[in-house]
Structure 1
Amino acid sequence: MTAKGDGQRRVLELLWKDARRPARGPRRGLTMERIVAAAIQVVETEGPAALSMRRVAEELGVGTASLYTYLPGKAELEALMVDAIGAGDPLPDDWPGDWRAKVEAWARTDHELYRKHPWVLHLVATVAAPGPNLLRWMDSALRVLRGTGLTEAEKMAVVESVDAYVRGQARLSLDTREPSAEEVRERDALLGELVDFEPYPALVETVRAGVSPYAGDKFEFGLRLLLDGVEALIAARRASTP
């Protein structure tokens, strides 16, 4: 097995086997749940860059070596943190309403989670090992689309497309700072002085209508368009079913 495959095996074994007891050394009152909770506290208050085995040990008031009796290293800890994030309810299929209402509810909930806890976006993007809570969530999301007439491949594509859209919009909103009214006025005055807008007639028409590029929250608009497309596909599938 390659070094990469060996590392993935260690991560998956921690996620799926009973790894709540240390392999060696004293317990020192630790549990895997406490270690993961301490790691989450570190990134909540200090950001993902602050996460290290040493920093988590400091948060717990123990030596760094104590953590290594529970898990091999930071990569495994991050995988456990990602899985812990998915432990909460409600699941996608728990929301009331039809498939569309359920998808909208889960998309809005996840979008708000990412905006309030940006470190989650960072870890979800770097951890690929699926744990029990991730598979529990995926199973629930696929159940939302039962009875729609979509193929299994289309159901998975819808789930992944919505998830990717939510993450992308959350990341964009975090990366883009909304300028103040004064900053907008100063910028527009400078642009009017320095730029010949004649080559950009469509943009000029949009701006004259009061629309500023990359300003405001476009999340709901994009979500509606995405789900309108899914709804059209479902309608087509049902229409073709004898």
Structure 2
Amino acid sequence: MTTEYTGGGDPARSLALLWRTREKSGRKGGPDLSVDRIVAAAIEVADADGLGALSMRRVAERLGVGTMSLYTYVPGKAELLDLMLDTAIGEAARPAEVEGGWRARLEQIAREKWALYQRHPWLSYVATGRPPLGPNVADSYEYELSAVDGIGLTDLEMDSVVALVGGYVHGAARGAVEAAQAEQRTGMTDEQWWWAHAPYLGKLMDPSRFPLGARVGQAAGEAYNAPSDPVHAFEFGLERVLDGIAALVERRSTPGS
């Protein structure tokens, strides 16, 4: 799947669309369109066929209108991608109260992000180094910062912790998406792939040459019936990320640290 980059559209037009400060109405007698309908259709295209299939033409076809009709509302694909991301982020639940302190709050945020990537696999192929500065992105950032507010971190550390959790989930989700795509494209499950290769590996890989790989690889293969397990990897990694943040919080709360 192709990686796409947010923030590539015209700043003034993108922000106006994201915050809905200006939206043109359909021409009299023309198609019943809106920015929201166009974005919803674009997300449906990406959900079904990936970002590589996304184009103004495909979105127009899904809506049953001419391609040029879309440009009355959205100037191009770059702005559309920003709108899609901001809209998808708005789906995440943000409960006002989460029992268990900062760690539970960060874990809830991470799991919501993971679930969002499962619903919209294309999100893991969107690079957000220049994020769309829309209302849902802003609300999400505010909510995530509130999870670690008042626990002794500096403002820069709060920002870094939020970025760390988000970046971890993004990477883990992309690995899970790629694993699913491998099965779809080859028609072979990970378990089938593993057992097809196992007899040959047993003959080619000398345990005396690769003692650790043979031992650990066998243990992992028996546990997963596959070379890896994306869900296990996510769970294991999330705990380690939270452990690391806990160590930082503890240092900040220790006098003289």
The TM-score, its normalising length taken from structure 2, stands at 0.81
Pick from 23, 42, 47: which aligns with 2:50? 47
Of 222, 226, 236, the match for 2:241: 226
Pairwise CA RMSD: 2.6
The amino acid of 2:79's aligned partner reads E
d(CA) in 2 for partners of 1:180, 1:149: 44
The match for 2:16 is 13
For the 8 Å contact 2:8–2:79, the answer to whether it is kept is no
**1: CA distance between counterparts of 2:90 and 2:192?**
44
> How many residues get paired?
237
- What's 1:236 paired with? 251
1:167-198 deviation digits (Å, cap 9, x = unpaired)? 10111112125755454233222012122332
Instruction: Name the residue aligned to 2:186.
Output: none
**Cα offsets for 1:11-65 (capped at 9, x unmatched):** 233223512225x955632111111111112222232222111121122222211
Unmatched 5+ residue regions in structure 1? none
Structure 2 residue identity aligned to 1:238? S
CA–CA separation in structure 2 for the residues paired with 1:164 and 1:117: 17
Q: Which amino acid aligns with 1:206?
A: V
> Greater shift after overlay, 37-46 or 169-178?
169-178
In 2, Cα distance between the equivalents of 1:48 and 1:192?
39
Counterpart position of 2:3: none
Aligned partner of 2:213 in structure 1 is 203
Q: Give the stretch that moved more between structures: 171-180 or 110-119.
A: 171-180
Structure 2 partner of 1:148: 151
Residue number in structure 2 paired with 1:76? 79
For residue 205 of structure 1, what is the amino acid of its counterpart? Answer: R
Q: 1:131 to 1:60 in 2, by over 3 A?
A: same
Q: Which moved more, 1:226-235 or 1:81-90?
A: 81-90
Is the 8 Å Cα contact of residues 89 and 137 (structure 2) preserved in structure 1? Answer: yes
Distance 1:145 1:43 in 2: 33
Of residues 190, 208, 215, the one that matches 2:228 is 215
Contact 2:51-2:122 at 8 Å conserved across structures: yes
Q: For residues 111 and 211 of structure 1, what CA distance do their matches in structure 2 show?
A: 23
- Aligned equivalents of 1:74, 1:65: Cα separation in 2: 13
**What SS does structure 2 have at the residue aligned with 1:232?**
helix
- Maintained 8 Å contact 1:35/1:56: yes
The whole-number CA distance in structure 2 between the counterparts of 1:138 and 1:182 is: 42
Contact kept, 8 Å, 1:92 with 1:102, in 2: the verdict is no
Which moved further from structure 2: 136-145 or 175-184? 175-184
In structure 2, list runs of 5 or more residues that go unmatched: 1-6, 184-188
1:238 positional shift: 0.8
Distance 2:254 2:213 in 1: 40
Contact map agreement 1:93 1:143 (CA 8 A) in 2: no
Task: In structure 2, give the amino acid aligned to 1:215.
Answer: S
Moved more, 157-166 or 199-208: 199-208
**Identity value in percent:** 38
Residue 227 of structure 1: how far off its partner (Å): 0.6
Return the letter of the residue paired with 1:211.
Answer: A
Distance 1:93 1:201, change over 3 A: farther
